[in-house]
Amino acid sequence: MISRPILIIDMNAFQLRNLGLVVLVAVVLVFGATSSAWAMTATSSVENQQTRMTNLKTRANTEIDRRVASLSGIITKINANKRLTAAQKQGFVSGINAEIASLTSLKSKITNDTDVATLKSDVQSIVTSYRVYLLYIPQIHILAADDVIGTSSDRLASLAVDLNNRIQQARQAGKDVASLQASYNDLLSKVAAAKTAANTADVLVIPLQPSGYPGNKSQLVSARADVTAGLQDLKAALQDARSIMQGLKAFEKSTGATGSATPVGR
């Protein structure tokens, strides 16, 4: 009869040990799974961060390369500009080369950045800290357009001298040149207006400095409007020249005479 309580105690001990084992297994399963989940989450977070940084670096380097290419391209336009003095060209080219060097250095820094915060700051600085690019690109494009307007205006003015001589010859021959004379007067007016617009734009943009950007952006806008007006005046002057040439040719056909004028645009 004594063995029964011992058996009961042993059975209770066995059940208790089994219960403890079950709890232990449960704990291992729960916390083990949780730890694995934490490890997977941490690994995933690191991978996402690395992917994000790689994407940021790729976009930043692409943007820097694009800016360097644009800046290199406008150096050619600066050197070819006939309206800029040698000192002005040197000033622009020096500033652009310094900007290219800074962007190249920034690209290297971005490539070596190891944390997201620093990388984001460096990427943002492409726009916020490198104002030479933001100013020089539109500035040089405006100056290049002014150069085209100036050169084309000079050519049209030279052509106008020849056209006027032929108009006077037609007048002396008894031709009605009233409409040709009106076109000639308008040609001179439009050429003068185009030159004025180009000169005004030059005065606005040549003195602009990167340190003043974006405060001086309004001057770029005004200069761009002047360029647009100058190009429209130039287009109208060109049409006047063509109209005059067509009228003169009509006179020549009616009399069987031959003549030549300097082709427009050459």
More confident residue, 123 or 27: 123
Contacts of 138 (CB under 8 A, 6+ apart): 220, 224
Distance, first Cα to last Cα, the chain? 130
Where does the chain have alpha helices with state H?
A: 3-80, 86-112, 116-128, 131-172, 178-205, 217-255
User: Residue 243 pLDDT > 80, yes or no?
Assistant: yes
How many domains does the structure of the chain reveal?
2
44 falls in which pLDDT band (50, 70, 90)?
Answer: low
* 69/151 same-domain check: no
Judge whether residue 169 has pLDDT over 90.
yes
- Check pLDDT > 90 for residue 6: no
Average pLDDT score over residue span 242-257 = 86
Are residue 14 and residue 99 in the same domain, yes or no?
yes
pLDDT value at position 183?
Answer: 97
Mean pLDDT, to the nearest integer, of 248-262? 70
Residues 197 and 89 occupy one common structural domain: no
Alpha-carbon Rg for the chain in angstroms:
39
Percent of the chain past pLDDT 70, that is, above it, reads: 78
Q: Which residue has the tokens 């336009």?
A: 77
Query: With pLDDT > 90 as the criterion, what percentage of the chain qualifies?
Result: 61
- Same domain for 7 and 124, yes or no, is yes
Pick 100 or 30 by higher pLDDT: 100
Predicted pLDDT of residue 32:
46
The amino acid at residue 231 is L
Could you say which of 128, 152, 170 is where a domain stops?
128
Question: Do 166 and 118 reside in the same domain of the chain?
Answer: no
pLDDT at 101 over 90: yes
The mean per-residue pLDDT over the stretch 62-73 comes to 92
The range of the structural domain enclosing residue 241 comes to 138-255
Measured CA distances, 72 to 94, 130, 210, 265 (Å): 12, 15, 17, 29
> In angstroms, how far is CA 106 from the centroid of its own chain?
19
Q: How confident is the model at residue 133 (pLDDT cuts 50, 70, 90)?
A: confident
* Residue 255 clears pLDDT 80, i.e. is over it: no
Token pair 């690019």: residue: 133
Same domain, 74 and 14: yes
Return the minimum-mean-pLDDT range out of 44-53, 180-189, 230-239.
44-53
CA distance 108 to 61: 9
Distance, in Å, from the CA atom of 266 to the CA atom of 152, rounded to the nearest integer, reads 9
pLDDT at 45: 65
Domain boundary among 64, 99, 128: 128
pTM of the model: 0.70
Residue where the block lists tokens 């494009």: 141
Asked whether residue 102 carries a pLDDT value surpassing 70, the answer given is yes
Query: Is it the case that residue 21 has pLDDT exceeding 50?
Result: no
Show the tokens assigned to 6: 């011992």
Residues 89 and 155 in one domain: no
What number is the average pLDDT over the span 209-233? Answer: 94
Report the mean per-residue pLDDT for the chain.
Answer: 83
Residue 257 has a CB neighbour count (10 Å cut-off) of 12
Query: Same structural domain for residues 93 and 145?
Result: no
User: Which segment of 31-35, 76-80, 109-113 scores lowest on mean pLDDT?
Assistant: 31-35
Type of residue at 128: T
Give the pLDDT band (50/70/90) at residue 79. very high
The string of DSSP letters for 158-190 reads HHHHHHHHHHHHHHHTT---HHHHHHHHHHHHH
User: So what's the pLDDT on residue 127?
Assistant: 79
Q: What pLDDT, on a 0 to 100 scale, did the predictor assign at position 253?
A: 86
